[in-house]
Structure 1
Amino acid sequence: MTPSTPAPTAGAVAAATPRRGWRLRLSRDRSLLIMTLPAVALLAVFSYAPMFGLITAFQSYDIYSGFWYSPLVGLDNFTRLLQDPIFWHALENTLVISAVQLVLYFPVPIALALLLNAVASAKVRTFVQSVVYLPHFFSWVLVVTVFQEMLGGAGALNMLLRRHHLDTWDIMTNPDTFKYLVTAQAVWKEAGWGIIVFLAALAAIDQTLYEAAAADGAGRWRRLWHITLPGMRGVIVLMLVLRLGNALTVGFEQMLIQRNAVGRDASEVLDTFAYYYGVVNNNFSYGAASGLFKGILSLILVLAANKLAHAFGEDGLYRR
């Protein structure tokens, strides 16, 4: 008589089930995982590996001594940073430009997505999408050049005003309106690209809801208010959280190109401050301290915005 095989214990079954589930998922999603490897490698090389350089924020870094032999100075660079009025002015400019872009730029992709979604003709919708996507692929040099040709002192607008003996507008070199100028440039360049996510959110809304609302007598605006916007709310909140996390990055190239035209007082932001007072002046530790301060502040903004999203019943970046 052969001995019977002992039944597996509950713990062994529980341990084996997750392992089997992981193997099945890896086998099923192998192609997708391979496709993500270049993106992961890109992030690892250009985003995560450079974080090692943050140690210079706590050193008196010398390019000839390197990381290992430069002396540690603790928080001296941060103390100096917080006592620098130029740094506080750069932070103020960054926050003001970011606030203007949040109010004037963030709603534009949502409105464009709603307008495109309302277009019945597929050919017209495809044409408009192609036109508004195109500026995303332009460099900031080209974008600023286009605005200079349109709004500069010798641009098309001022030429037209002179021809009709009217006063010209000082737009490209006016420090007082610079924040609105860079916002307009960002809208023209990026708004079309930003509608992709919102169009996907609109496509995910159940069309039977619109049919039922129309059968009940709801007009276009009621369907927009009670079906479309609630259906997009989760994506809007998510994009808002991401936008706040990126609020302190307002366009390094854009500011650098127009710095001489409007002056340092109007165009100095945290990124240009780190460049000019860190890299250009060979004070790498000071620039690293400024960059680390910006990163910590951005993290605080993301966590605060995500907590606010939870308070309104949305998932945000992650669930509670």
Structure 2
Amino acid sequence: MDDTVIVRGAQAPNKDKKLEKAMLRKTKWKKIKQYRLLLLMMVPAVIYYITFHYLPMYGVLLAFKDFKILKGIMGSPWVGLDLFRTIFQDDYFYTVLKNTLIISFYKLLFGFPVPIFFALLLSEVTNAKYKRIVQTVTYLPHFISWVVLAGIFFTFFSLGGPLNTIITLFGGDPVLFLADARYFRSILVITSIFQGFGWGSIIYFAAISNIDPQLYEAAIIDGAGRFKRMFYISIPMLVPIIVIMLILSMSGVLDAGFDQIFNMYNAQVYNVADIIDTYVYRKGIVEMNYSYATAVGLFKSVVALILIFAVNRVVKLIGGKDHALW
């Protein structure tokens, strides 16, 4: 009799667990049914990432093989880490790496705060029509290809362009800015900010619009002006978004902007403008050294992944879990 009681007592928790699992399944299916339209909208994006981001990862094998086109990826002989040894023994690779880090750091240092300040300042504008016009105008460059933008900037910075016309009017000598290593990096940073600050400010506009208006009303009653409301309410409330965007930006530290640089640089400025992506393009596409180019690209991806984890860890230690990405 006692044994029967023990067995029944052991079976009861198992039944409860099964019921819990069944309830969880029902809840999941209810949620899937409830959000089926949103999930359906995600399907094209999922297909895109699987097709163009996950399936091509098979090609990473090239970094460890002496690729022969006729033999294919699997038929090509393994070389292990030989290609990586070749990369780190190449002096020019360190020049390319230095250029990439410098240009990316400049873009992050000078370009990252601009959308934040722009969103903060424009959010203080009370004229809705004027605000919409400014937003539309600043968003437009994001949708223009760098091929087109590069043509515009070539004209602007050319010897007969508007900038040199102003310089000559004041008695100066014209300068071929895009072929001068002293100015090229600065031009890259300025044009990059011009192209992206309007689009980058959207997320900050959205965050500002979600701040409780009662906080501003209380500050106005206490006599706080526009700048005080900005510094003591808007900016602190934006900190979580700013931190997340900074962490995500770290993944692009070794991505200095291939489209922009490829369309704007030339042989005269290779020593200050040649980055990892343009180097990979020349090695892989032009010279058809696919294995070497893949190895360089893999190195870049691994470093970017390490940087994301490192910055996220630092944010956790400094600001707590609430400000970290995960």
State the TM bucket, normalised to the shorter chain: over 0.9
Quote how far apart the aligned CAs of 1:247 are: 1.5
Quote how far apart the aligned CAs of 1:314 are: 4.9
Distance 1:268 1:122, change over 3 A: same
Does 2:112 correspond to 1:142? no
| SS of aligned partner of 2:265 | helix
**Residues 8-67 of structure 1: CA deviation (Å, up to 9, x unaligned):** 932122212221221111011100000011111111111111111000000000111111
Runs of 5+ consecutive residues of structure 2 not aligned to the other structure: 1-10
Pairs within 5 Å for 1:88-99? 88-99=94-105
Does 2:66 correspond to 1:48? no
Pairs within 5 Å for 1:1-320? 9-260=15-266, 262-311=268-317, 312-315=319-322, 318-319=325-326
CA RMSD of aligned residues (A): 1.7
Distance 1:291 1:249, change over 3 A: same
Quote how far apart the aligned CAs of 1:317 are: 5.8
Relative to its length, the structure with more helix (as a share) is 2
Distance 2:190 2:275 in 1: 18
Normalising by structure 1, what TM-score? 0.94
Equivalent pairs counted in the alignment come to 314
Quote how far apart the aligned CAs of 1:164 are: 4.0
Which residue in the other structure is 2:3 paired with?
A: none
Quote how far apart the aligned CAs of 1:143 are: 1.2
The farther-off stretch of 128-137 and 255-264 is 255-264
Quote how far apart the aligned CAs of 1:316 are: 5.1
Runs of 5+ consecutive residues of structure 1 not aligned to the other structure: 1-5
Any conservation in 1 of the 2:124–2:226 contact (CA below 8 Å)?
Answer: no
Which residue in the other structure is 2:6 paired with?
A: none
Any conservation in 1 of the 2:111–2:197 contact (CA below 8 Å)?
Answer: yes
Quote how far apart the aligned CAs of 1:238 are: 0.6
Distance 1:130 1:305 in 2: 33
Any conservation in 2 of the 1:61–1:71 contact (CA below 8 Å)?
Answer: yes
User: Which letter maps to 2:325?
Assistant: Y
Normalising by structure 2, what TM-score? 0.92
Which residue in the other structure is 2:8 paired with?
A: none
Distance 1:261 1:193 in 2: 31
**Residues 120-151 of structure 1: CA deviation (Å, up to 9, x unaligned):** 01100110011000011111121122222222
User: Which letter maps to 1:142?
Assistant: V
